[in-house]
Amino acid sequence: MSLEDTLRDDPERIASILDHTNVDPTATEAAVRTLCEEVLEYGFCSAVVVPYHAPLASELLDGDANVVAVIGFPYGIQNSAAKRSEVEALRGHVDEFDMVMNRTAFANGDRESVVDDVEAVKEAVGAKTLKCIIESPALTRPEIRRAAALVEEGGADFVKTAVGYDGPTDAAEIRAIREATGPDTQIKASGGISTFEEALEMVAAGATRIGASSSVEIYESTQ
């Protein structure tokens, strides 16, 4: 049974693919505690936080859900050594890393630098999961396909759509990523997803993970 069919048959299972997110730069410890409490209460896959809050999230979740930290956030313009340093400082607290592609290198057609950047971060991540954000709402469909192919070439486990600063993700972006990548590369849809139906649309297009600050609303819209 496909993931889409599974979710149509049992909508509450959406919780298992939701990365519950708070990457607000002004997020407080109290807000992160609430985030993690909701992850545990609803059975979400992960809590996604900025690096500063990763140790706290790790302590609160205590292995019962994944901790995800964003790397090179939000524009990906840091050099690879800086991104690697972020990863190395966090490995003891973090299960998955959501890095941002070097958007400046991509905009300048520097394909080699884009791939090398992902490869460098993947080497630091090791056996843990690496997702790479291409900020698809800011790209044309051909650009999405090119970016996704480069991220896959660099060794990322997931192509992730967006940090959410350039507008919401739509299903056409997911389909463009799927067209450019092989079956072993997964897709995380994020950016403006706030209902079960919207999440299901992304899954139908090829996403296997959903990132959202509205995870509770998504789950409760299945009721």
Going by pLDDT thresholds of 50, 70 and 90, the confidence category of residue 167 is confident
Active site residue 98: yes
94-144 pLDDT tens trace = 999 999 999 999 999 999 999 999 999 999 999 999 999 999 999 999 999
Q: What angle do CA 96, 50, 13 make, to 5 degrees?
A: 50
Query: What tokens were used for 176?
Result: 């463009």
Active site residue 83: no
Q: What angle do CA 156, 213, 61 make, to 5 degrees?
A: 75
In one letter, which amino acid is 189? A
* pLDDT at position 166: 86
Going by pLDDT thresholds of 50, 70 and 90, the confidence category of residue 165 is confident
Burial string for 183-192 (b: 16+ CB within 10 Å, else e) reads eebbbbbbbb
Which of the following is catalytic: 83, 122, 131, 160? 160
Nearest to 64 by CA among 45, 49, 51: 45
Q: Give the Cα separation of 21 and 211 in Å (integer).
A: 7
Q: Give the Cα separation of 115 and 34 in Å (integer).
A: 37
Q: Give the Cα separation of 15 and 130 in Å (integer).
A: 20
- pTM tops 0.95, yes or no: yes
Q: Give the Cα separation of 98 and 68 in Å (integer).
A: 7
Which of the following is catalytic: 83, 122, 131, 188? 188
172-204 pLDDT tens trace = 999 999 999 999 999 999 999 999 999 999 999
Active site residue 131: no
Residue 223 scores a pLDDT above 90: no
* pLDDT at position 164: 84
- The mean pLDDT of the chain is 97
39-81 pLDDT tens trace = 999 999 999 999 999 999 999 999 999 999 999 999 999 999 9
Which of the following is catalytic: 19, 95, 98, 170? 98
